Structure 1
Amino acid sequence: MIPRPVSASFDDAGAFTLRPDTVLIAPDTLAGTAAWLRATLGPPTGCFLPPAALSLADEPAPSGAIVLRLDERMPAEAYRLTVSASLVTVTGGDPAGVHYGLQTMRQLLPPAALRRAAVVNGPWELAAVEITDAPRFRWRGAMLDVARHFMPVAGVLRLIDLLALHKLNVLHLHLTDDQGWRLEIPDYPRLTSVGGWRRRSMRGSKKHEEYDDRPHGGYYTADDVREIVAYAAARHVTVVPEIDLPGHVQAALAAYPRLGNGPVPAVREAWGISSHTLNTSDEALDFCRTVLHTVCDLFPSPVVGIGGDECDRDEWRNSPAAVAHARDLGIDPDDLQAWFVAQFTSVLRERGRRPYGWDEILEGGAPEGALVAAWRGPEAAAFAANAGHDVVSCPDMHVYLDYRQSDDPAEPTPVGTRLTVEDVYAFDPVPPGLASPDRIIGAQANIWTEHMPDARAVDYMAFPRLCALAEVVWSATARDAGDFARRLTGHYARLDALGVEYRRPDGPLPWQSRPAARGNPLTDAERREIIAGLTARLLSR
């Protein structure tokens, strides 16, 4: 099983056999979970789990049943799975806990039970076992960048299913950047008609300055978002939207140049960071407010990402209007980013939401209550936690899944430092020496898609490294790399059944390479030097 449960005690004496006449008993409060289980398990097994009821809460369940229960004495997201030859019982501290217990039950079945239609007739046996389980962290996530390369709705829904199977509960959607704007905003239609596509994309690392000359684009309508959010909620995954502001906005400024500080080219075609930023006018702030209110209308997540990262200050320093505005505020132009973050925070608090930003938002003093994504190493995570902020650990050298997976020259577009499955498994989200370790609320892997043009490429870069991250954030017990490797070998059959084009242990298959998209691999020392330079400003304040 991946992630490994807190405790599992197997009984060799028997097994439960799932049959077409196996009934499912669940209270009304778990009707959604029961519906999900029937829809998921029925087609591949032929066992659609007809409903049955108990006349009394304490009435013994009939032999051959699956029973779902809630126990408020158990912690949130915790579950207990009991399998005997005659009965399966899944008890959770809340509906999410029951759901996770059922995901574990799915992993106990033969891999063919994870397919979408029947390929074998069974038998569908569950080994007799008693499992008690609960997560280590409450934030267990993956960030998907749909700005650099757009992923259609069907691909996002499929990724949500894969997250849920591994008990990951957050999908952070990076919806906007210099290379594309992916969310329909009714008051600003040009954000998608202009900002939603680019004429061409870089082929490979920006170092080589090569392009594919193929238009790329796409965006999510309001109904697309509602579908994604509802689908995720049924699987206990929270979709956290991110609108990157006040930098990373070239796509928006290409659509509405008046919001910038001067002439703006088209949507950015090159990878890397644009120097363009929002101006400080009332119109630009009104734009931000409208966008954030639309985001809050569509996404019920209590947390909303505001970006706040890698913001070039040169345009503000060279803009008479920005300099004058900063002077009126009594601040330096370099501090306008922090001023912007404060404005965004005010809007979100009006809507009862919490701002979520990359660790650069600490550079001017992050707003009280802000959640910080610490990507520049354990130093940034420790700085944020010691400053009193809750932190999601996502250091690039441990969980950036765009980084190459080996030194094999056949790796597709090898960039960054080498990051193996074993490296991800060795990651600890909590830096040493924290005064308040509980400020680290969890971790996430970040899937930046400059070099992942489609879902197949995302599969290869995300899996099985995302399996390792899932165990890091779920399992509180001491980790055993050898044991994980053994279980992962068995888990590949499940990924095969789900159609995941993961990276094989012996390297890429021929069609997974991208020889025409050249990379730019770095050594660990080179990447550490880059990160040290990026964190110097933060640690000096």
Structure 2
Amino acid sequence: MHMMKLVSRVSTLLLSVTPALAIWPAPTSITTGNQTLWIEHNVQVTYNGGIVRWSSLSHPSCPSAAIRTNEELLALQLPWYGGFVPPGSDFRSQDIVHGGVCRALDAILNQNFVPWKLYARNAVKQTEPAANKGKTLITKLEISQTGKDNSSTWKPVGGSVDESYSLSVDLKGTAKIEAVSAVGVLRALESFVQLFYQHTNRQIYTTLAPVEIKDAPQFPHRGILLDVARNYYPVENILSILDGMAWNKLNRLHIHVTDSQAWPLQIPAMPEVSEKGAYAPHAVYTPHDVALIQTYAVHRGIEVIFEIDMPGHIGIVAESHPDIITGWGAEPWTTYCAEPPCGQFRLNETKVDTFLDTLMDDLLPRVSPYSAYFHTGGDEFNFQEYLLDPSVGTNDTTILIPLLQKFTDKNHARVRKAGLVPLVWEEIPKDYNITIEKDVVVQSWLGGSAVQELTSAGHQVIDSNYNFWYLDCGRGQFLNFENGQPFDTYYPFNDWCGPTKSWQLIYQHDPRANLTEEQAKLVLGGEVAVWSETIDETNVDSLIWPRASAAGEVLWSGRLDASGNNRSAVEAAPRLADIRERMVARGIGAAPVHMTFCTQGRNGSTCSWPVGV
């Protein structure tokens, strides 16, 4: 047995759950009926009255949504699909919508699934609608965009882009989407996808007509942090993550692109940094890769934010520029850094400024066409390491903090010069008492009262509380332990942040908990974190999904429902199982939410803990 019997008597009265609606994340408002409509390839799609080029999925204007590799995208040369667009190119609303329509209809018609895991046991034939009777077809999808997009739509600051939408499907077979922005249209299209299933005879249907949805996100920042330095991810893996984010209405990918372990980012002005700092010649991200990732993201309503963490987490630069790094490879590493190898920027060395001026002048102009932000790190600054720094030679905080203040000011000036907003980890203002300007966004990860303290000081905050939203936690140590005292001390070799963050734990975290109304306004949203000590392209799908989906609903729909009650995992579970099946059908190896027994019949109470004794 997998669960001990904790009580001798339990009530047979379980929470009754109405069969769940399919939409994830939960819309602001939704009403549905119980009529069946069908959809085929010849549905006519219009955008602001004009025909969207849509004759069939075999037409080259609508390539398969499964295409993700660099080579395939380059061969297509379709910028609206997410192919390469040179930096500085303009994004057009009609291209964004066109690509979204193609991907949505591809998902509905070519990448759908028979929901046998969601129907009662052996009841697919009895549950799905009869396909041999007179059928009402959805013949029209009318898309209206009521507002004008501008450059800030594609790289929004905070909530500057309106992602709201309305979606309706009537009984005559006309579907309508209305949104202020092209990004809102994309969000509506993903909800439209979730209305449909594949019949066992391969036809496509919905049983929810008529449908009325009005929706908008609670938080403007709904993200995933991906560490690509500790383990390298091929570009197609990153594009796949972007697809999953779009399907779950997540809108920020934070790429932690360098660390002390590796520097995979090519910098044309300083090619030696990646040549000597990458794990291997192929394990790099070229300028083309960077532009491709960002463009692919924009066409899915996602903003990519790159991070170069400093002045700590930067030791690898010593391989190419040893005279600007202190403590590279210092032992014992536990004295000088959070994990090996150690190495931080020298804080009183002018050559550091020369290095950073060159780096930022090269990189930031290539980032700024696609993003409003750049993350400068600042976490886990180790004072002991400056005992080894010939430019400092002390761990005295009265000397080091002013040097760190100067370093931070210069770095943020470089970011602002490029027209970007700086981000930092919470230690910069909270633990090191570094003064930062009001435009700087602070990412909080240490939990406790951190978000309360930061917002009470007037800082904008992104919540990544490790107690809830670190997806790498609870999977064991990446370190090795010698026999004897090390083995005995660290057995059974748990990692520092266990236990594993289950989707239920992730789902119950509220970034606004215990905040005043004014403080809550400063919480832009949150990010689940994928630190990659023991994660790479082989297991990343199952570790992100569908747990990031759970955070996605918290950030889109809010932790409280329309009645002001905490959203229930019992209600959420069948819908989460549904979106998981859709992700699998669309090519992402998402982990199961439950054993199939728990989801059949769409009754979340089947595997709920009994209430009452």
Aligned to 1:343, which of 400, 406, 410? 410
State the match for 1:524 in structure 2.
none
TM-aligned CA deviation for residue 257 of structure 1: 0.6
Aligned to 1:287, which of 342, 355, 360? 355
TM-aligned CA deviation for residue 254 of structure 1: 1.9
Task: Answer with 1 or 2: which has the greater Rg.
Answer: 2
State the match for 1:7 in structure 2.
29
Q: Is the 8 A contact 1:83 1:126 kept in 2?
A: no
TM-score normalized by structure 1? 0.78
Deviation per CA, 1:332-391: give whole Å up to 9, x if none. Answer: 124433321111111111122111011111123241121000001042212211111100
Distance 1:262 1:22, change over 3 A: closer
Aligned amino acid, residue 39 of structure 2: L
State the match for 1:475 in structure 2.
557
Deviation per CA, 1:285-307: give whole Å up to 9, x if none. Answer: 12112222323122121110001
Q: Does 1:367 align with 2:436?
A: yes
TM-score normalized by structure 2? 0.69
State the match for 1:167 in structure 2.
249
Q: Is the 8 A contact 1:147 1:177 kept in 2?
A: yes
State the match for 1:31 in structure 2.
94
Higher mean alpha-carbon deviation, 37-46 vs 359-368, is at 37-46
TM-aligned CA deviation for residue 219 of structure 1: 1.4
State the match for 1:222 in structure 2.
287
State the match for 1:178 in structure 2.
260
Distance 1:247 1:102, change over 3 A: same
TM-aligned CA deviation for residue 162 of structure 1: 0.3
Q: Is the 8 A contact 1:370 1:390 kept in 2?
A: yes
Aligned to 2:276, which of 184, 194, 198? 194
Take 2:174 and 2:99, find their aligned partners in 1: how far apart are those partners? 20
Distance 1:504 1:46, change over 3 A: closer
Per chain length, whose mean CA-contact separation is higher, i.e. which structure has more relative contact order (CA < 8 Å, sep 6+)?
2
Q: Does 1:153 align with 2:235?
A: yes
Q: Does 1:99 align with 2:186?
A: yes
Aligned to 2:308, which of 243, 248, 263? 243
Deviation per CA, 1:37-67: give whole Å up to 9, x if none. Answer: 34314546669xxxxxxxxxxxxxx982111
State the match for 1:416 in structure 2.
497
State the match for 1:66 in structure 2.
141
Deviation per CA, 1:132-161: give whole Å up to 9, x if none. Answer: 100000000000000011111111111000
* Aligned counterparts, 1:37-76, within 5 A: 37-43=100-106, 64-72=139-147, 76=162
Distance 1:126 1:98, change over 3 A: farther
Deviation per CA, 1:296-331: give whole Å up to 9, x if none. Answer: 12212111000111111223244352259x99xx95
Take 1:271 and 1:499, find their aligned partners in 2: how far apart are those partners? 36
Distance 1:366 1:89, change over 3 A: farther
What count of residue pairs does the alignment treat as equivalent? 460
State the match for 1:521 in structure 2.
none
Aligned amino acid, residue 170 of structure 2: S
Aligned to 2:168, which of 64, 71, 82? 82
Deviation per CA, 1:190-238: give whole Å up to 9, x if none. Answer: 21111011xxxxxxxxxxxxxxxxx797111000011111100000100
Aligned to 1:447, which of 530, 537, 561? 530
Aligned to 2:521, which of 430, 435, 438? 438
Take 2:275 and 2:205, find their aligned partners in 1: how far apart are those partners? 50
Aligned amino acid, residue 123 of structure 1: I
Q: Secondary structure at the match of 1:449?
A: coil
Aligned amino acid, residue 21 of structure 1: N
Aligned to 1:389, which of 412, 436, 459? 459
Take 2:266 and 2:98, find their aligned partners in 1: how far apart are those partners? 31
TM-aligned CA deviation for residue 417 of structure 1: 1.6
Deviation per CA, 1:425-445: give whole Å up to 9, x if none. Answer: 000011414452101110110
Q: Does 1:491 align with 2:579?
A: yes
TM-aligned CA deviation for residue 282 of structure 1: 1.8
Identical aligned residues as a percent: 25
Deviation per CA, 1:23-43: give whole Å up to 9, x if none. Answer: 110038641233213431454
State the match for 1:55 in structure 2.
none
State the match for 1:322 in structure 2.
392
Q: Is the 8 A contact 2:105 2:193 kept in 1?
A: no
Instruction: Report the aligned-residue RMSD.
Output: 3.2
Take 2:107 and 2:191, find their aligned partners in 1: how far apart are those partners? 17
**Higher normalized helix content (fraction of residues):** 1
Aligned to 1:110, which of 167, 174, 197? 197
Distance 1:70 1:39, change over 3 A: closer
TM-aligned CA deviation for residue 126 of structure 1: 6.8
TM-aligned CA deviation for residue 17 of structure 1: 2.7
Q: Secondary structure at the match of 2:526?
A: strand
Aligned amino acid, residue 442 of structure 1: G
Q: Does 1:501 align with 2:589?
A: yes
Aligned amino acid, residue 497 of structure 1: A
TM-aligned CA deviation for residue 453 of structure 1: 2.6
Q: Secondary structure at the match of 2:392?
A: helix
Q: Secondary structure at the match of 2:268?
A: coil
Q: Does 1:134 align with 2:224?
A: no
Q: Is the 8 A contact 1:381 1:431 kept in 2?
A: no
Distance 1:184 1:364, change over 3 A: same
Distance 1:352 1:183, change over 3 A: same
5+ residue gaps, structure 1: 48-61, 113-118, 198-214, 508-541
Deviation per CA, 1:445-487: give whole Å up to 9, x if none. Answer: 0110111132x31112112211100001000342122111121
Q: Does 1:458 align with 2:540?
A: yes
Take 1:70 and 1:370, find their aligned partners in 2: how far apart are those partners? 32
Q: Is the 8 A contact 2:329 2:341 kept in 1?
A: no
Aligned amino acid, residue 411 of structure 2: F
State the match for 2:131 in structure 1.
none
Take 1:82 and 1:481, find their aligned partners in 2: how far apart are those partners? 27
Take 1:307 and 1:450, find their aligned partners in 2: how far apart are those partners? 18
